[in-house]
Amino acid sequence: QVHLVESGGGLVQPGGSLRLSCSGSGIIGGVDVMGWYRQRPGQERELVATINKRRHTYYEDSLKGRSIISRDNVYNTVTLQMSSLTPEDTAVYYCNRSPALVNFWGQGTEVTVSS
């Protein structure tokens, strides 16, 4: 069983920034496409950003222009830097490969954007 570990969430004011991190039990380096997912309160989990080994990236529309996904295959980490946060960003954020594997889900890291 493999679990990814997310961190970096917290309470932030609108307009603020956060840097989410995911560490991967030595597996991230071997996965082609890694992604960040978010689950807003009462909603399904959705894919919001991906990065492959060649550093090609994808962002869901709401993250475009204010987010950066990056990875370090040596240290097995994936990060998601988000800025200009709004209450719509309030969610639990998870990392996983894309497409996701059930046994990779971690506990997520909660982001709350509120004044």
Mind listing the pLDDT tens digit for each residue in 56-95? 999 999 999 999 999 998 878 999 999 999 999 999 999 9
Mean pLDDT of 33-44: 97
Element of type H or E holding 15: none
Q: How far apart are CA 93 and CA 38, in angstroms?
A: 4
Mind listing the pLDDT tens digit for each residue in 2-31? 779 999 999 999 999 999 999 987 788 888
Asked if residues 24 and 30 have their Cβ atoms less than 8 Å apart, the reply is no
Residue 1's pLDDT is: 67
Residue 106's pLDDT is: 92
Residue 12's pLDDT is: 98
